[in-house]
Amino acid sequence: MSAEKKTDFHVVNHSIPRRDGRVKVTGKAPYVADLKLIGMAYAKVLRSPYAHAKIVSIDTLRAASRPGVYCVITGNDLEGLNPYYGHAVKDHPLLAIGKVRYAGEPVAAVVAIDERTAFEALEFIDVKYEELKAVFTPEEALAKDAPLLHEKQFEAGALRGFEGEVTAGKGTNICQQHRIQWGDVEEAFKKAAAIVEGEYYFPMAYAYAMEPYVAIADVTDQGVTVYSSAQHPFMVRHDLKSIFNLPVSKVRLIVPFVGGGYGSKSYTKIEPLVAACSWKAKRPVKLQLTVEEAMLTTRSDDAYTWMRTAVDAKGKIIARQAKIYMNTGAYAENSPLVVEKSTNRCVGPYAIPNVLIENCSLYTNTVPASSYRGFGCAQVTLPGESQIDELAAKIGKDPYEFRLANVAKPGEEFFPKMRPFDGTLKEDLETAAKAIGWKNPLPKGHGRSIACSGSDAGAYPLTSTAVRVHADGSVTIMTGSTELGQGSHTVLPQIAAEELGVPFDNVNVVSSDTAITPYDRSTGASRTTTLMGSAVLEASREAIQQMVVMAADVLKVKVEEIQVVRGGVRCGEAQLNWSEVITKFYALPDGEVIGRSYIRKSGKFSQLPVFWEAACTGVEVSVDQETGKITMEKLVTVGDVGLAINPALAEGQDIGAATMGMGIGLFEELVYEGSQLVNGSILDYRLPRFSDLPKEVELHLVQNQDGVGPYGAKGGGEASLNSMAANIANAVDRAVGVRIRQAPLTPERVWRALKEKELQNSKVQKFKE
């Protein structure tokens, strides 16, 4: 815990209304979908009907000669570009080249005077395919006679965030492997007092950012400018720089408000294709996908996990072993990092002395998987937190007490070589138990569960910012962090206002324009408050230091004689606010001071993860035994956030994440039948709606100022999703005595499990008779 624990906050730790409130409730907030450039054309995409096929020929003549069509672009037209991109592995062509690897892959694009003209021209493109054998699951992809998706080896993406080796293209369909190991697992399982073992499946999920992928590109001899709904503009810039072989200074990404991300808009998506369209059409081009097309662009990795966990006679967890197969789809996207993270996240948040986790992701002929809120954690928390309950039941312990006895303790180095645990899970669990009424009697058919998760969060610490103090004392923050709805445009000014002692309303934010705002690596992994927040805090302090020197100059005293007070300086009787310091220094009512900050992997950020993202959720469910339908009676979230810069926003992240997790726990799942995604529309993909709202909801924050971020803050935003599927499975087991190891727990799956149990019981009954 930090020695300088500040508590007398003026702006921070208050639920100040959102900075983007007025523009969003009046419909004035700009999203890329709302933007138009002069002379802008529109693109539409032709997609492959086959999961795996050679492209024999493409004839674009009929489409290209239609009225209103500027050009048609295919994989044959990309000479002069480096058409393969990828954050981890450069395996992804911006349009299919030579073959297609999933049904829905972009094969060609038409650029036309308007969207409808472009759309209508698509059917005049003649593509001849030669179908190839396809694989859809990790098991099929691993088979000896499996067709190869990728024949050649790829370059590593220059922005790799994982330490693993690129296995893609080495003669198998393996995309990435990762393994962690400590202690002696075999020996531990031999000595165990009790063991549970099982196989689990976590489904493919669709994030459904309500604003589908959209981008406008303008490629000229001046460079490449792209307006995009991207979460990580600087990473997209890097891919575009490589594709067009340009210096960084000639690639500009501009991101206005983003209509939801949840990980699905992290890393590069449609930007290379739009930029190639503009490059060929020689004019600005807009490409807006439909939701159906967005569903063919990114999904979460589905995961098949075998796991076993062991406990000793005293009730201490002594070993965990898991083997995970993840289905990464046709291209690696960010899945290699998801593989690494899900491997690590099998352990947390427990101190387990013997661990062996092996993870392998496979290329298959399905929609490419990438980041999804929680980054692989939900996939392995379903098995992980299910087994905690299964194990507790086996040794006759209360699962809540069992967790209390085993969770990582504050400061404990529970994961070798990583940052010691910086949360207070015991307090989190106690808060959740109290809120859910753990010991209270329950009606028949009801069950409760409390589960937790701890993720190595914060991604990589590389963030910079500039805080400009103007001559009137108002402030502009230049930040590369994107406003996705999480509230960064509110939280960052709160920090600057706190440090500089200026009114919150006088602090403005300019964000996410790579030509203007300093480098920030990403907006994801719950990192913005911690890393960009720290950068804003440091830059504000650096501006103050500069203004102290300026004040000394103005007052003709030594720098040491200047005392910083809230909103300005004092020296003896003389007191100057920032505006007075700046205007007196420049002798004009103009000018500014620029505070800067560069955060890197050093100092308090030298150890990874940046922080452990910990949270608990608690649920009470009731199960209709006739239909198998689960009703959410109550939901509790506990965010272990160190300090909430804006408590209402932090709670908003928790309830939002928990609701997404509830969706996967109850009904969300992308379903493949053969080569086709059969529920690739919002008509068929079931999302949480108002009527799915739990009957009661309680949101709690635990604030011990134990984080590495500003004033002891840590990130939130993902954690409450991670434990929800396991929580629902555990609560169903406690309600009606069936253990379901697959999400979502649809009424059919619950009903089948209940029937199976009835059948077993009647067999046992007959045997006894």
Partner 1 sequence: MTDGMRIVALKFQLNGKPVEMECEAEETLAEVLRNHLNLNGTKVSCEVQVCGACTVLVDGLPVSSCTYLAYEARGKNVATIEGLEKPDGTLHPLQQAFIDDFAFQCGFCTPGMIMAAKALLDENPQPTRAEIIHHMDGNICRCTGYVPIVAAVQRAAGVMAKESKK
Residues that bind partner 1 (CB under 8 A): 15, 17-18, 20-31, 33-34, 67-68, 112-114, 116-117, 120, 207-212, 257-262, 290-291, 484-487, 648-649, 652, 655-656, 658-660, 681-683, 687-691, 693, 697, 699
- Kindly state the tokens that stand for 520: 């920030």
Task: Please state the closest distance from residue 485 (CB atom) to partner 1, in A.
Answer: 3
Burial class (CB in 10 A: 0-12, 13-18, 19+), 752: middle
Nearer to partner 1, 249 or 681 (CB): 681
Helix (H) or strand (E) holding 729: helix 724-736
Angle formed at CA 124 by CA 120 and CA 128, multiple of 5 degrees: 135
CB-CB contact of 677 with 739 (8 Å): no
Helix, strand, coil percentages in the chain from 3-state DSSP, rounded to 5: 30, 25, 40
In which region does residue 389 sit, left (phi positive, over 0), alpha (psi from -120 to 50) or beta (all else)? alpha
Nearer to partner 1, 549 or 682 (CB): 682
As a whole number of angstroms, the distance between CA 663 and CA 539 comes to 40
Residue with tokens 């505006």: 579
As a whole number of angstroms, the distance between CA 703 and CA 644 comes to 7
Beta-bridged to residue 286, according to DSSP, are 42, 216
Task: Please state the closest distance from residue 761 (CB atom) to partner 1, in A.
Answer: 37
Number of neighbours of residue 698 by Cβ within 10 angstroms: 17
Nearer to partner 1, 112 or 467 (CB): 112
Task: Please state the closest distance from residue 492 (CB atom) to partner 1, in A.
Answer: 16
Task: Please state the closest distance from residue 662 (CB atom) to partner 1, in A.
Answer: 8
As a whole number of angstroms, the distance between CA 505 and CA 496 comes to 11
Residue with tokens 């007398």: 8
As a whole number of angstroms, the distance between CA 540 and CA 59 comes to 58
Task: Please state the closest distance from residue 403 (CB atom) to partner 1, in A.
Answer: 24
Residue type at 751?
A: W
Beta-bridged to residue 129, according to DSSP, are 55
As a whole number of angstroms, the distance between CA 321 and CA 189 comes to 9
Task: Please state the closest distance from residue 527 (CB atom) to partner 1, in A.
Answer: 17
Task: Please state the closest distance from residue 321 (CB atom) to partner 1, in A.
Answer: 35
Nearer to partner 1, 14 or 584 (CB): 14
- Dihedral angle over CA of 528, 205, 297, 529, nearest 10: 0
Task: Please state the closest distance from residue 486 (CB atom) to partner 1, in A.
Answer: 7
- Kindly state the tokens that stand for 196: 């549970």
Task: Please state the closest distance from residue 134 (CB atom) to partner 1, in A.
Answer: 28
Nearer to partner 1, 141 or 509 (CB): 509
How do 299-300 and 369-370 pair as beta strands? parallel
Task: Please state the closest distance from residue 384 (CB atom) to partner 1, in A.
Answer: 24
Nearer to partner 1, 173 or 486 (CB): 486
- Kindly state the tokens that stand for 305: 């996990």
SS3 category, 507:
strand
Task: Please state the closest distance from residue 351 (CB atom) to partner 1, in A.
Answer: 32
Nearer to partner 1, 395 or 648 (CB): 648
Nearer to partner 1, 193 or 648 (CB): 648
The DSSP symbol for 500 reads H
Nearer to partner 1, 41 or 166 (CB): 41
Chain centroid, CA 417 distance in Å = 24
